[in-house]
A and B are shown apart, each in its own frame.
Chain A
Amino acid sequence: MSEDISSFLKLCSEVASASPFFGDGERRFQKISERGKIRDKYQYLPSFPREALLAAGSGDAKNTIKNIKEEQFYFPDKDFSPAFIRNSESDPFALAAQSLPYQLVILDSNQFCLNLPEPLSRFVILVKHSSPVIITLHTHSSASVLFLLTSGSSVKVLADFTDSWSASFVSLRALVHDNASFSLETAQAVSGDLTIDAMAYLTGAGASADIASVNATAQGNFSAFVKIFHLADNTSSNQRLYSVAGRDGHEHFRGEIYAAKGTAEVKAYQVHKSLLLDDSANSNANPFLEIYTDSVECSHGSSTGFSDDAALYYLRARGISAEDARSLLIGGFVADGFFVFKEPDYFTTSFLETAGTILGQKIIISEEP
């Protein structure tokens, strides 16, 4: 898997320098990160898990912090300080080029399983392969992964963080060059705190990013921060995030679409839906659009609601028990979330089982008989 670092940096440089975005993007991102309560709460950078743990603020998180010594964090370079990470966050090229302690994986095969080691992992994955690459991603802890997609490459990331520790923070970044496509499908049922912070930078013409997520949350916070930067012509993106929360589960969603000035033929869509199973659960959704071009087709929508009484009545009026009707309705919501997944079978069985356990609620997905 190793390859000469200098040739890697050269490739990174080619990808990054092809886009004039980065100087402007840095200011933009910092400005965004300073407004909005949720972003304020998480405004430090995800690559540094100790701060993530602190911010999560739950009792579990504090206990976890006590048990983790600073030496356990991976600081291979003395200059690799949190302040540096902050600066590099808004500049993926800097992140890639200067973070040598990141482990580098250059992919030229089309299947790759990335089991991120504990307690902290940083990876840079360079995708060169022209046929679609499937990467399965697991971690028990906080992790940071940067995907660099060269021209014409295609990567599909299947990520399941069900087994993550409480207060895990997963940072995923994708730099997507000309005609490359990035897809992230992620599903997890988590009790405790988990944050997934995913951003895709569409730096080349014809680049695309699809992010789809289905989550179940109980007794903790699930946060999904998603941002797609459209920085070139003819780029497209879809964000579709579904979440079920119950039993003191709290969901936080911040989804952003950024279309840079001067870009043309941008298509960007965002859907967020959250289903609350009881009064102890809540959802905090912040969908954002930042559009600086007229040549754009864009939509965003977010809905949050308790399970639908009218739907419950409809099913019960056909003789289905209240309990089964509820299971079917939650299953219907989940199935609707999985609808856009290209690899739903990878997730559904374990998701339904774990989600059913943490939510204390059987979930039935009704497939075609």
Chain B
Amino acid sequence: MNSLLQIESLIAGPSETNIINELNLTIRPGEVHVIMGPNGAGKSTLSAVITGREDYPVRGGRVYFKGEDITQLPMEERARRGIFLSHQSPLAIPGVNNLQFLRFAVNSHRKAHGEDEMKPGDFLKKAREYMALLGLPEDFSRRSLNDGFSGGEKKRNEILQMLMLQPDLVILDEIDSGLDVDGIATISGIIKNYHNKNRALLLITHYQKIFETIKPDYVHIFAKGKIVKTGGAELAALVDAGGFEQFLGGKE
């Protein structure tokens, strides 16, 4: 099967620092990949590079999405092609209405695909349906983007955006942080239902709780900007039992 995302010998990072160093990773449609690693290993940097942030320039290697080289593609174009990042700490933007922003995003996608804008009534109906599914309050439509949201609300809002934008590759950067146990169960259930044979998930996480619902096909141990070990769900159990040190080959 053709890959959805293919990363070859990637070297990238902010400023002059190559946080990502000779990374190779292939994700096929339908797969669930998990990246685990110690703090500062570059996990969030990887998600920033995949989504195309210009302040994390690529200095070597290529990134392919659905078979096309997207290494130099602007981030909005990557998003429109189906790459979605659920941020670890979603940013609050006062003054920008939460749902109007989302409508803007949905219509940007539709425009890029040659479709008409979504009618406001249809958009609201769909958004409210998903909000109910996520347990988000009605006043969400009046509030500013992530402004004054609790940690759990911010994460739910990310998933609301995912549901509305229907991406093919979903990167979930610590989706389980900021959520209580019930929240994790709800969100992971929704993500599991969203996932299908055409869509892939890339989870960045420290915890195994979410694996109870979303079963990983591959677990990668990420350190020093590259993958140092790949295995199945059993690898996560090893991390839980013995930490990351066992995979790092001693201290630097």
Contacts and interface: CB of A to CB of B under 8 A. Distances in A.
Interface of A: 309-311, 313-322, 324-325, 328-329, 331-337, 339, 365-369
B109 interface: yes
Interface in B203-229: none
A329 B145 CA distance: 11
Nearest to A325: B76
Interface of B: 51, 53, 55, 74-76, 79-80, 85, 87, 90-91, 93-97, 99-105, 108-109, 112, 120, 123-124, 141-142, 144-145, 161, 165
B103 A329 contact: no
A369 B91 contact: no
Most buried by B among A314, A319, A322, A334: A319
Given A310-B91, A314-B91, A325-B76, 10 more contacts: A317-B85, A317-B87, A319-B108, A319-B109, A319-B165, A328-B101, A365-B95, A366-B100, A367-B100, A369-B141
A332 B108 contact: no
B108 A324 contact: yes
Contacts of A367: 97, 100
Contact of A328 (B51, B104, B123): B104
Contact of B103 (A333, A336, A369): A369
**Dominant SS among interface residues on chain B:** helix
A319 B91 contact: no
A311 B79 contact: no
Nearest to A338: B95
A328 B112 contact: no
Given A314-B93, A316-B79, A368 B142 contact: yes
B76 A339 contact: no
Contacts of B144: 332, 336
A329 B96 contact: yes
B162 to A, nearest CB: 10
B93 A332 contact: yes
Query: Do most interface residues of chain A lie in helix, strand or loop, or is the interface mixed?
Result: helix
A328 B91 contact: no
Contacts of B75: 313, 316-317
B80 A331 contact: no
Contact of A309 (B55, B90, B161): B55
A328 B96 contact: yes
A320 B105 contact: yes
Given A311-B91, A317-B51, A318-B161, A368 B101 contact: no
A323 to B, nearest CB: 10
Contact of B99 (A314, A335, A336, A368): A368
A335 B95 CA distance: 5
A320 to B, nearest CB: 5
B96 A331 contact: yes
Contacts of A339: 95
A356 to B, nearest CB: 16
A318 B94 CA distance: 17
Contacts of A335: 95-97
Interface centre among A316, A329, A332, A333 (most CB of B within 10 A): A316
Contacts of A320: 76, 101, 104-105, 108
Contacts of A365: 95
7 contacts: A311-B93, A315-B105, A318-B79, A319-B76, A325-B76, A369-B103, A369-B123
A333 to B, nearest CB: 6
A318 B165 contact: yes
B95 A321 contact: no
A328 B98 CA distance: 12
Contact of B95 (A313, A314, A317, A336): A336
